[in-house]
């Protein structure tokens, strides 16, 4: 089975968490933490910073490592390194997702999450 390595950023600003809604594929409409594939030789932190810049035109600061998730989707294995991050959010531009939302930690369970991101949510609830 093919393995895909990605980095995701859990961006927290003023007690709200940024989530993004997929606009394509089998999981269109599901929510996830933004991020994307790591390039060869790239660190997890660098990939998260680059992907958020590409997807949201947002500069982030990695604050801490949260968790690495390993999850088997039907057609590939996902390894996802997740980082807590912060940003001075003045303006964002959605380049990849169909929607974004800022939610409070108490509303995390209300979103329809991608399967791998459910595991991230469970870890995040222990930390915030």
| Tens-place pLDDT, residues 74-105 | 999 999 999 999 998 767 788 888 999 999 99
pLDDT of 33-47, one tens digit each?
Answer: 999 999 999 999 999
94 vs 110, higher pLDDT:
110
Q: Is the pLDDT of residue 120 over 90?
A: yes
Q: Tell me what pLDDT residue 99 has.
A: 94
CA-CA distance, 55 to 48, in Å (whole number)? 10
Confidence of residue 63 (pLDDT cuts 50, 70, 90): very high
* 17: pLDDT strictly greater than 80: yes
Global pTM value: 0.94
pLDDT at residue 79, as a whole number: 98
Average pLDDT over the chain reads 95
Query: Which domains are seen in the chain, by residue range?
Result: 3-127 (3.90.79.10)
Beta-bridge partners for 99: 21
Q: Which residue has the tokens 């791998």?
A: 116
Integer-rounded Cα radius of gyration of the chain = 13
């Amino acid at each position: 089975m093919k393995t895909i390595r990605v980095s995701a950023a859990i961006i927290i600003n003023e007690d709200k968490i940024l989530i993004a809604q997929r606009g394509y594929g089998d999981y269109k409409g599901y929510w996830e933490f933004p991020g994307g594939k790591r390039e060869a030789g790239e660190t997890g932190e660098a990939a998260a910073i680059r992907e958020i810049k590409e997807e949201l035109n947002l500069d982030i600061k990695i604050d801490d490592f949260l968790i690495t998730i390993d999850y088997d989707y039907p057609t590939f294995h996902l390894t996802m390194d997740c980082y807590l991050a912060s940003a001075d959010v003045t303006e964002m531009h959605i380049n990849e997702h169909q929607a974004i939302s800022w939610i409070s930690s108490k509303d995390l369970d209300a979103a329809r999450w991608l399967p791998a991101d459910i595991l991230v949510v469970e870890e995040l609830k222990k930390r915030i």
